Copies of this chain bind each other. A is one copy, B any other.
């Protein structure tokens, strides 16, 4: 729909961010970093859902050994999330972090920030400068400016400081819990800097409001070509963050990982209990990479039209489902067999043994 903004390139382990690379999906573990087994199990789940970069909080020195073990065994590049304590950032860099995320505004002093920059430089890893409305540096926090201006000024000032130390291996973020402030801040940043942008709405909320706020905010930005890596923040299982992130990318035809499911909103025309059927097909389709477009329709109004556009689908009515492929009817099955029959045909199309 639009051209992506041009940015520098940053490497996080094996994943490239910026410079036109595919928009990378991130999430963050919630397990105790001091418990590498639990955290690695969560990383495995996140990776299976399509997470490409994982962030792990390093809260105090006690978890540094756990963090090292996680970095050593993680299938995904691990970003150390640090607040307040620059020593933890330095130690995380030594222990295998693929990137550091700090908010220089809460590290305490520029001297301490410089020590982190030097540690990252030595380890050859990038730093995300993560400015956040909830933890703005004091000198900006109390200014009588609109929030987006404060976020942008703070972020740009930090990049300039990093540049003054010849460190440009930077990813930048400036998040607010307000979608409008977030969008305005990133629009300004995209004009002012050439660093890849990590975009997200912070403290977006529970499953419903967080999903919508992230989809609206990241959707608007991505549609304008802004954003090189995304994190959806939900007060929910981080696996859900990854699923929502992929849905956002798919909605804009930017990246797709699993089959595209088109299903109708059911109305008084619908003569079958379509919701559980569609949900079950959705669940099964999310388990496997696929490039197919699948339609699940409950009536004849839009069914035939969508059928023409889909690779495979079902039009359901009065206890039966008609399976079709590329608009041609394949077979009629009873309601109870719709899901299995459809998945069987998908297996056939994709050359899997059912």
Contact surface of A with B, Cβ cutoff 8 Å:
1, 28-33, 39, 56-57, 59, 63, 81, 83-84, 106, 132-136, 141, 177-180, 183-184, 202-213, 215-220, 223, 233-238, 241, 243-244, 247-248, 250-253, 261-270, 274-275, 278-279, 282, 295-297, 301-306, 309
Contact = CB atoms under 8 A, between A and B. Distances in A.
Given A30-B270, A234-B265, A267-B28, A248 B212 contact: yes
B183 A216 contact: no
Nearest to A238: B265
A29 B302 CA distance: 17
A224 to B, nearest CB: 9
Contact of A203 (B63, B215, B234, B263): B263
23 contacts: A57-B268, A57-B269, A106-B301, A134-B302, A179-B251, A180-B253, A202-B302, A205-B262, A205-B278, A206-B279, A208-B244, A209-B250, A209-B261, A209-B282, A210-B263, A212-B247, A213-B251, A215-B219, A216-B216, A216-B248, A220-B223, A233-B265, A238-B265
B302 A236 contact: no
Given A203-B263, A282-B206, A282-B208, A216 B251 contact: yes
Nearest to A28: B267
Contacts of A247: 208-209, 212-213
Nearest to A295: B203
Closest 8 CB pairs of A and B: A134-B302, A134-B305, A216-B219, A215-B215, A212-B247, A233-B265, A57-B268, A216-B251
Given A208-B243, A215-B216, A243-B208, A180 B301 contact: no
